[in-house]
Amino acid sequence: MRKETHMTYEQAFEYVGSFTKSGTPVKDLIRFVILMRLLGNPQNELKIVHVAGTNGKGSVCEYISNAVKADNKSVGKFTSPYIECIEERIQVNGKYISRPAFALLCGQVKNAVEQTGFDGFSQFEILCAIALLYFYKEQVNVAVIETGIGGLLDCTNVVNPAVSVITSVDFDHTDVLGDTLAEIARHKAGIIKPSVPCIVYPGQAKEVMRVIDDKCREYNCEEIIPDMSRVQMLHMDITDVFFSYKGMNYHLVMSGEHQIKNALCAIEACRILNIEYSSVFTGLERSALRARMEEVSVNGAVCIIDGSHNPSAMRAAEKLLSCDKRKIHAVVGMMANKDWQTALKIILPRFEDVIFVDGFMPGCVPASQLTRFAIEQGVRATACGDLNSAISQAALKAGTKDIAMVTGSLYLCLLYTSPSPRDRQKSRMPSSA
C-alpha cells in the first residue's frame, strides 16, 4: 500500500522550494523514470501534446489548450516559468491547480522521491510529477506539456505523446545545450518518438532542419512543416493579426509573423487531435499571454509589454515594430545569462531613447553597463533604479502620439503587467527569463 503523507499548502510550497532550480545534472532520465514508476506512470494514461523549442513554446501551448477547451474537451497544461504563484504552471481548463490538490499530490510525490534512492531532484521534476498526477486524476482529454530546457534530457521526455511540436530553435541556454545550433537542435529533437507525428516550426535554420529531418527518418515519423505558401496575410498591426491558412480564416491577438507560425503549428496539432475548425478558430482568437506584445495604458500613453529576451525573439519583435512608424521610448532590463549584447544590437536602432533598469531579479545585467553599451551603439540611454519610475518617464515622453515599451526579460515584464485576479502567494523561487 502506498504511503500517504499529508501536507499543508505551505508545507508543499516549502518542499518544492527546498530543491534547486536545475537539480543535479543528469546523463539520462533514469531517476525520473523510477519516480514516475513509483507513482504508477500516470503519464502513460494521457493523450499528450509535447512541445519543445527555444521560442514560442508558451504561445503554442496556449493556442492548443484553448482550441481543445473550445471543442468541449478537458485539457491540462504544464508550462514554465511562473511569476506570481507556483500553481500557475499546472492548469486544467485554464484554471490553476487548487492549493489543496497541490498539497495532496505533493505529499504523494514526496513519498515517491524518498523511495527512489536518488538525490538531486530539481524543482522542475517535482512540479512535472505533480502535474502529470493531477492531469491523470482529473482525467483530462488532452495534456499539453511544455519542456523545461532542451528536450532530450528534460524530465518531460518520459511521456509518450500523440503528437510532438518543435517550435523555433535558436541560441539560448548554451551553457547546458551547447553553443551551436546543431547541438541545441539535437536536444530539442530528443522529444521525437517512433511513429509519432512531429510538427516543426516553418523557416528553421538549415543546420536545425538537418538534425530534425534525420531524427524523423530514423524514427519513421511523419514530419509536418506548415506550408507558408498557403498563408494569406489579411491584416497585421502591433496587437492583431488576421490571416488565412489553406483557405480558412484565423484571428490572433498576439501579433507578429512569428505568432502566425506558432499558430500554424497549433493548427496542425489540432488537426491530428481531430479538433473542429470552429474550435480552433475560437481557441486561437481567445489566446493571449501576458507580456507578448501586450498593450496597456500608462498615464494615457500606449505601452507595449513584450518579454523578448534573446536574439531570435528580438528579431521578431523588431520586425513587427518596424510596421509602426511611431517613435518608441523604451524601458529595458536583461539577464546576464542571455546573449544580451546581440539582442540589444537588434532592437536598439528601433528605439528613440531607452531607460535601462536592474534589480528586478538576481543575475540581471547592471543598468549602468547596459547604458554604456547602448551609448556606444549611438542610442540615447540613461539608467534608472526604479522600474515604475522608468515606465512613467517613458510614458511621459510617449504622450498620445508615440509608444512606450518594456522589454528585455519576461520576468521584468511580468512584474509590471496586471496581477492575476486570484490572490496568490508570491513565488520565492528563481527564474531566468
CA distance 285 to 390: 32
pLDDT tens digits, one per residue of 34-46: 999 999 999 999 9
Are 328 and 371 in a shared domain? Answer: yes
Asked which of 285, 313, 339 is the last residue of a domain, the reply is 285
Residue 2 lies in a domain: no
- What's the Cα-to-Cα distance from 244 to each of 123, 146, 279, 327, rounded to whole Å? 41, 27, 15, 30
Pair 34, 155 in one domain: yes
Specify whether the CB–CB gap between 398 and 303 falls below 8 A.
yes
Grade residue 420 by pLDDT with cuts at 50, 70 and 90.
very low
Q: Do both 332 and 238 map to the same domain? A: no
> Which candidate, 191, 226, 204, 171, places its Cα nearest to that of 51?
191
| Mean pLDDT for the chain overall | 91
Mark whether 191 and 314 lie in a shared domain. no
177 in a structural domain: yes
- Domain membership of residue 328 (yes or no) is yes
Closest CA to 82 of 177, 148, 142, 11: 148
Q: Which of 345, 406, 340 is nearest to 376 (CA)?
A: 345
Q: Which residue has the higher pLDDT, 325 or 131?
A: 131
Q: State the amino acid at position 7 in one-letter form.
A: M
Predicted local confidence at residue 427, as pLDDT: 32
307 lies in the same domain as 408: yes
Q: Domain boundary residue among 231, 255, 285?
A: 285
pLDDT tens for each residue of 396-418: 999 999 999 999 998 888 776 54
pLDDT of residue 81: 77
Residue 174 lies in a domain: yes
pTM of the model as a whole:
0.85
Q: Where residue 313 sits, what CATH number does that domain have?
A: 3.90.190.20
Q: How many domains does the chain have?
A: 2
The pLDDT assigned to 425 comes to 32
Residue 361: strand, helix, or coil? coil
User: What number of CA atoms fall less than 13 Å from residue 75's CA on the CB side?
Assistant: 24
Q: What is the structure's pLDDT at 80?
A: 86
Please state, in angstroms and rounded to a whole number, the distance separating the CA atoms of residues 181 and 226. Answer: 21
Q: Which of 402, 357, 363 is nearest to 381 (CA)?
A: 357
Q: What is the pLDDT of residue 172?
A: 67
Q: pLDDT tens across 200-259, in order?
A: 999 999 999 999 999 999 999 999 999 999 999 999 988 889 999 999 999 999 888 999
Residue 424 lies in a domain: no
Q: Are residues 113 and 208 in the same domain?
A: yes
The Cα–Cα gap between 108 and 260 comes to 41
Instruction: Give the dihedral sign, CA 137/138/143/147.
Output: negative
- What pLDDT is stored for residue 2 in this prediction? 53
Residue at which a domain ends, from 219, 251, 285 = 285
Taking a C-beta distance cutoff of 8 angstroms, is the pair 32, 155 a contact? yes
**Grid coordinates standing for 177?**
545545450
What are the tens digits of pLDDT across the range 151-173? 999 999 999 999 999 999 987 65
pLDDT digits (tens, 9 = 90+) for 276-315: 999 999 999 999 888 788 888 999 999 999 988 889 889 9
Q: What is the spatial distance between Cα 97 and Cα 95, in angstroms, rounded to a whole number?
A: 7
Are 139 and 186 members of one domain?
Answer: yes
DSSP H stretches of helix in 39-143: 57-70, 99-116, 123-137
198 and 165 part of one domain: yes
User: Confidence band (pLDDT; 50, 70, 90) for 419?
Assistant: very low
Task: Give the per-residue pLDDT at 431.
Answer: 36
One domain for residues 333 and 279: no
Same-domain status, 389 and 242:
no
Mean pLDDT computed over 113-135: 97
Q: How confident is the model at residue 64 (pLDDT cuts 50, 70, 90)?
A: very high
pLDDT of residue 150: 86
At 340-386, the pLDDT tens digits run 999 999 999 999 999 999 988 889 999 999 999 999 999 999 999 88
429 located within any domain = no
Identify the residue with better confidence: 82 or 209: 209
Lowest mean pLDDT among 4-13, 227-236, 262-271: 4-13
Residues of the chain with pLDDT > 70, as a percent, come to: 93
Q: Inform me whether the pLDDT recorded for 390 exceeds 70.
A: yes
β-pairing verdict for 248-252 and 294-298: unpaired
CATH number at residue 133: 3.40.1190.10
Q: For residue 127, how many other CB atoms are within 10 A of its CB?
A: 25
Same domain for 170 and 309: no
Domain that holds residue 102: 9-285
- Look at residue 423 and tell me if it is in a domain: no
- 329 with 210, same domain: the answer is no
Tell me which of 95 and 176 has the higher pLDDT: 95
Angle at 15 between CA 24 and CA 87, to 5 degrees: 100
Cell numbers found for residue 14 = 516549502
* pLDDT at residue 421 is higher than 50: no
Distance, CA of 86 to CA of 94 (rounded, Å): 15
Domain-embedded: residue 430 = no
